[in-house]
Structure 1
Amino acid sequence: MQKNDFNEKLTMLRQIIKNHHTEGLLLTKQCNINWLTHARSFVGLATEGACFQILITLEKVILISNTIESERLATEELFQIADDIHWETYVWYGETKKVNSRYIIDTQCETDLYQCRTRLSDTDIRLLRELSIKTARIVEQKCHEMKKGMTEFAIAGEVSKTLWEQGIEPVTLLIACDERIAKYRHPLPTSHVLNNYAMIAVNARKHGLFASVTRFVSIGEPSIDLKKKFHALAAVEFSFIKETKAGNSLGNIIKKAIQTYQDIGFSEQWNFHHQGGITGFMARECKPWITSDELVQNNQAFSWNPSIVGAKIEDTILVNNNKTEILTYTGEFKYVEYNDSGNVIKIPDILIIPH
């Protein structure tokens, strides 16, 4: 955590307090506390609420936690700003601080906080770049190491182990092999054994930020049908990346993608799964539809995830200085190349490894 980043975000929060004509703002959700502090605000990975709260007033920052969390937070998570905040601790069997009617809770001003979270700071961007490339390399490494006979549980264990070794939290981990890929869009890992090809899809988190990556690997030459689907799907992903430019509406991006699905002969496939959207301090801050008039802005991150039954492509990208950067591109995988006005965009293909 950098103090200047923390202080800049405090200024934004205090402006929200002023705009709402209130005396304070209580942050309770992980996404909001993570945005402000880059701390690990969870105990259980799957929780939405944080394990502590932060009350912002025009004069103070007050951290409210029970005795279970307070020492860890002070020494491991928030030590860089520990001297700048006031601490209120209560015993684990006691009640949390009652919210004064003069304060608002983050759930009451979500629109304002959404605007803050989805415009990434310089520090956020640096951390997201680091997370994205590390996550992509880990997923791709595990694709290269895949062996026939591995169970989906074993693959999930290998991916999780290596992510955790880098301090990266595997918040969502979808693993499927062979026929299960076509059967389910959200395939949780099972004891199913890898025979021909596999998918690894992960929403990974560090410093509160999310990177999303999906990669496919085939042991031996993939079927003609799978190749066809993947090359068709690459055209949809290219549409998403090409259209994700500052000033374009999210609705227009979705419309162009749907048109591409139709052009490649898979006109109904977009119906069966959302197409992704803005990312950052949530795996998906929004999942836009054709009616969305929200405009793409600089310093926003996106994870689009188009899919056709049995195939999916997913990367994390950043719109910065009116350019689009694929943060999860490593240059170490197999790609399909597209040209966007002289700019070569590489879309991940199926990695083929020998039997």
Structure 2
Amino acid sequence: MPTARIAGSFMQRMSETGLKLERLRACISERKLDAYLISLRSNFAWLTGGGYNHVGMSSDTGAVSLLVTRTRAYALTDNIEMPRVQREELAGKGFIPVAYAWYQAVPAARIRRIVDSSRWCSDDGAFGSHPLSITELHAPLLPQEIERYAALGADASRCVTAVCRRARPGMSEYEIAGMLAHAFLSIGILPAVLLIAADERIRAFRHPLPTSNKLRRHLMVVVCAQRHGLIVSLTRFVHFGKVPRDLERRHAAAALVDAAFILSTRSGRTVGDVFRAGVEMYRRTGFAAEWKLHHQGGPTGYHAREYRAGADSREKIVPGRAFAWNPSITGAKSEDTIITVENPDDAPRILTEDPAWPMMAVEYEGDIIRRPDILVR
């Protein structure tokens, strides 16, 4: 199996799945359920320590489901998927295989044989079940998850740096996106989001899908990179020739707002506290209304964003919680993925920082943080 597909050591993955089954079973017991069915790719990856249950990538629902009862755990899929998933995703984890012929639509009947009651829920409402989200169980991340996350962040940021240094005027946004997809896929990273904009399209659109538009002087690269289910997000800018003063001003302001978001993300505070600190920095930099033009990001992990943060977000931040803030000022943006640490006096750890990328020092309330500068070519 390629190194990039190994989600930690065999023993780590066993213990990780065991700990997560405890979290899930506590939820099942608290809600007086008999079982819970997982089909979403994000939840499958979370529970299995980075496993994949999909075939096509166009659906959030995978081809393999996990049925967890108070005492047992089952893997349900057809005879096409079972051999691979047993060997490569679930080996040694204690899931009882329940296979059926691909031409028989029998998953619901199999579930009824295992769970002799109507007291079960699912993550996607399958088979007429009541949908119940378990995203809140994903946090805090376990040490082995943080290790995988840090490796992903380092790899993803290096890929972005390499492609930004290879990009040339005259290349289309499609070509640059293709180089980045190749760099990602060659080390087992899935490009969950890949936005590329050149020149005037940067100011025109917050979510610029790549087009045939050709790069002249200014390039924006935005990615959400996924491996073992975890997703990191980052944004980088390249400029060929001297950077215009107005662009420098906007980029510096976006970095200041980002510093406010990142350095305010500490254990014990609420997500709403952080959001308000970021909005206040928009005002102090002279761009008070820009936050209304795009969401500011929020908690991340097995989703690009679990939800979009707002001033009324009440979640209490804990150690081991991942966030991706993405403040933007028309034509500029600052974005990385971070994770909170044990000591609330310490700044969060930035997972997507590449030492090879030019950085700028930014001060916020007496603390200094490094934020990505524009790469001038």
TM-score scaled by length of structure 1: 0.95
Q: Does 1:86 align with 2:82?
A: no
Aligned to 2:155: 134
Q: What's the counterpart of residue 123 of structure 2?
A: 106
- Contact 2:189/2:226 (8 A) holds in 1: yes
Q: Does 1:302 align with 2:323?
A: yes
1:340 Cα deviation (Å)? 5.5
Q: Aligned pair 1:186/2:207, yes or no?
A: yes
Query: How well do the aligned residues superpose, as a CA RMSD in angstroms?
Result: 1.5
Alpha-carbon separation, structure 2, partners of 1:228 and 1:341: 20
The 1:46/1:274 distance shift into structure 2, 3 A limit, reads: farther
Aligned length: 350
Alignment-derived partner of residue 153 in structure 1:
174
Counterpart for residue 28 of structure 2: 17
Q: Distance in 2 between matches of 1:267 and 1:239?
A: 14
> How far 1:103 moved relative to its partner?
1.9
Unmatched tracts of structure 2, length 5 or more: 1-6, 8-12, 113-117, 125-129
Aligned mates of 2:56, 2:358 — CA distance in 1: 36
- Unaligned runs of 5+ residues in structure 1 are none
User: Hey, what's the Cα distance between the residues in 2 that align with 1:240 and 1:15?
Assistant: 33
String of CA shifts for 1:54-88, please: whole Å, max 9, x gaps.
0011221110012221112122222343xx22111
State how far apart, in whole Å, the 1-side matches of 2:55 and 2:222 are.
23
Instruction: Specify the alignment match of 2:374 in structure 1.
Output: 350
| Counterpart Cα distance in 2 of 1:286 and 1:320 | 21
The Cα of 1:28 is off from its aligned counterpart by 1.7
Structure-2 separation of matches of 1:91 and 1:156: 39
Shift of 1:197: 1.1
2:77 to 58, 65, 83: 65
Q: Retained in 2: the 8 A contact 1:118–1:279?
A: no
Distance between the aligned counterparts of 2:23 and 2:210, measured in 1? 41
Deviation at 1:341, TM superposition (A): 7.1
Q: TM-score scaled by structure 2? A: 0.89
Percent of pairs identical after alignment?
34
Q: By how many angstroms is 1:89 displaced?
A: 1.3
Q: Is the counterpart of residue 265 in structure 1 residue 310 in structure 2?
A: no
On the 8 A contact 2:223/2:234 being kept in 1, the answer is yes
In the alignment, does 2:230 pair up with 1:209?
A: yes
Q: Return the alpha-carbon distance in structure 2 between the equivalents of residues 216 and 42 of structure 1.
A: 33
User: Helix, strand or coil: the match of 1:45?
Assistant: coil
Contact 1:246 1:298 (8 Å CA) reproduced: yes
Q: Which of the residues 34, 37, 41 maps onto 1:30?
A: 41
Contact preservation (8 Å) 1:118, 1:278: no
Residue pair 2:267, 2:319 contacting (<8 A) in 1 also: yes
Which amino acid is 1:292 matched to? S
Aligned equivalents of 1:16 and 1:288: distance in 2?
A: 25
Name the structure 1 match of 2:115: none
Give CA deviations for 1:33-69 in whole Å, capped at 9, x if unaligned.
Answer: 1100111122222321122110011221110012221
Asked if residue 97 in structure 1 is aligned to residue 97 in structure 2, the reply is: no
